[in-house]
Amino acid sequence: MMPIQAVIGDVCRLVLLLVILSACSPPLAAAEDPSLIVSRFREYLRINTAQPKPNYREAVDFILAQARSISLEAKSFEIVDGKPFVILKWPGTNPRLPSVMLYSHTDVVPVEQSKWDHPPFEAHVDEEGRIFARGSQDMKCVGMQHLEAVRQLKRSGFEPIRTLYVVFSPDEEIGGHDGAEKFADSEAFREMNVGVVLDEGLASPNEKYRVFYGERVPWWLVIKATGAPGHGAKLYDNTALENLFKSIETIWRFRTSQFDMVKAGLKAEGEVVSVNMVFLKAGTPSPTGFVMNLQPSEAEAGFDIRIPPTADHKSLERRLAEEWAPIWRNMTFEFKQKASVYNQHGEPVITATDSSNPWWALLEEGIRKANGLVGKPEIFPASTDARYFRLLGLPAIGFSPMANTPILLHDHNEYLDQAEYLKGIKVFESIIKTYTSFVGDSSKESLRDEL
């Protein structure tokens, strides 16, 4: 039997060791009340940043206040007057490594208030826990999830190796020309030495998160037809409206052929060319409406065309000139916007999903660590600001953690379930830890020389 003095000595040494280990270990942060986390999200949603007159100033003040509350370096600046960016910085322990950029936009699309069951800027929560608000899916949820994930990681004592930037931008919903397009070409962005960008994705109706490696680019087309004016009772050949409707019929046959492949399951929506007519303009105005006995000499229609980076755009241009708006039928056309499907190296604007891109595997790893499921890589069916960073050759991935959620971006009664919102924060915590802890080979991933 050991002497009692020896036992007491062993116990004292054990207690001392536990005290030392406790002092050297980061404290375990108590979980924050979920209602407070949701409350901050709702506060952001209540700021009316709808185009064409977004309240950017209030949004910026809110974001900067959140940054101060979690001790992030923060700055706000404008490339174009009245259109502010906010850049938040969490410095890494190895600033030489290319940084990670989490990106979101502050503006949202307009609303038709009469079509909503709840006021779109009230952030109403119903009895099922659904948060109704414009921007709840597109994409104020993601911006706040970025911030909340950082907040939780800081509380836990985590330290990133790579520097992390959380960026909020203006004007994405109107094309990003005064926002991301200019930002990607700015000295401020070059100084950030970004190695990878995470931007927005889409909700998933099933349990698998959707992840996007490219997107369809917009070709906004206006076709105009001309013809001789004449009496409303006379039959003419090649009137403006007759020629325009011939074009519309041809375009609609093409649209149907593309849509049929989607409905048959042969291609995903992001893999086909989509064409939708967005306006039709014709007729001679009168004080009571339109002149009814006069055939107009001009008619035009507008089309929103989206081109995947895998499409043969040269073939589509020939189709446009020869079939959709042939000059021999008194037709002309112009593009209001025509984005490129190629980057500065003449390659399709896509982010690699194979072993050449470690960020893709790391994203999947981060999602799985948070008990999430990942679907098949997709091409985003619309356009996001990610395209401006892909044009530089940077890997840019679209991801919004919303599973088991209907796709309601730009729709009436847009909502996100608060439980799904909270789950997405945990997913981003895992992704941030995985991304900012990755060392890799910085010489192979940095684009400093190319930019």
Q: In the annotation, is 450 catalytic?
A: no
pLDDT digit string, tens, across residues 142-184: 999 999 999 999 999 999 999 999 999 999 999 899 999 999 9
Least confident interval from 183-187, 200-204, 257-261, 283-287: 283-287
Cα separation values, 101 from 76, 95, 264, 341, Å: 16, 14, 38, 23
pLDDT for 444 equals: 52
Provide the CATH number for the domain around residue 242.
Answer: 3.30.70.360
Residue 173 counted as an annotated binding residue: yes
Residue 268 and residue 400 in one domain: no
Say yes or no: 50 and 168 in one domain: yes
Is 107 an active-site residue? yes
| Confidence at residue 72, expressed as pLDDT on a 0 to 100 scale | 98
pLDDT tens across 393-440, in order?
999 999 999 999 999 999 999 999 999 999 999 999 999 999 999 998
pLDDT of residue 445: 56
Per-residue confidence (pLDDT) for residue 450, from 0 to 100: 38
Confidence of residue 20 (pLDDT cuts 50, 70, 90): very low
pLDDT value of residue 339: 85
Average pLDDT, the chain: 91
Q: 61-75, 228-242, 347-361, 368-382 — which is least confidently predicted?
A: 228-242
Q: For residues 47 and 233, give the distance between their C-alpha atoms in angstroms, rounded to a whole number.
A: 55
Tokens of 147: 């911030």
Neighbours of 344 (CB within 10 A): 12
Q: Which pLDDT band holds residue 28 (cuts at 50, 70, 90)?
A: very low
Q: What pLDDT, on a 0 to 100 scale, did the predictor assign at position 237?
A: 87
Scored b (16 or more CB within 10 A) or e, 401-421 reads: bbbebebbbeeebbbbbbebb
Number of structural domains, the chain?
Answer: 2
Place 3 in a pLDDT band, splitting at 50, 70 and 90.
Answer: low
Residue 320 makes CB contacts below 8 A (sequence gap 6+) with 221, 333
429 is in an annotated binding site: no
Domain region containing 360: 34-215+348-445
User: How many C-beta atoms lie closer than 10 Å to residue 196's C-beta?
Assistant: 25
The DSSP output letter for 235 is -
Residue 78 clears pLDDT 70, i.e. is over it: yes
Q: Rounded mean pLDDT of 279-283?
A: 95
Q: Which of 391, 239, 253, 221 is nearest to 329 (CA)?
A: 239
Shared domain check, 200 and 315: no
Q: Sheet harboring 211-215: ordered strands across?
A: 73-80, 83-90, 164-169, 99-105, 194-199, 396-399, 211-215, 378-380
Among the listed residues 148, 171, 172, 215, the single catalytic one is: 172
- Say if 187 falls within a structural domain: yes
Q: Is the residue at 5 inside a domain?
A: no
- Measured CA to CA, the distance from residue 111 to residue 171 in angstroms comes to 16
More confident residue, 6 or 388: 388
Q: Binding site annotation covers 410? A: yes
Percent of the chain with pLDDT over 70: 91
CA gap 4, 372 in Å, rounded: 54
- The per-residue b/e assignment along 376-386, b for 16 or more CB within 10 angstroms, e otherwise, is ebbbbbbbbbb
Query: Do 173 and 112 reside in the same domain of the chain?
Result: yes
User: Which one-letter DSSP state was computed for residue 270?
Assistant: G
Residue 128 counted as domain residue? yes
Decide which of 338, 357, 378 is a domain's last residue.
338
Q: Do residues 326 and 364 both lie within one domain? A: no
Do 159 and 246 fall within a single domain?
no
Place of tokens 């190895």: 94
CATH number at 186 reads 3.40.630.10
Task: State whether 115 and 161 are in the same domain.
Answer: yes
In a shared domain, residues 103 and 238: no
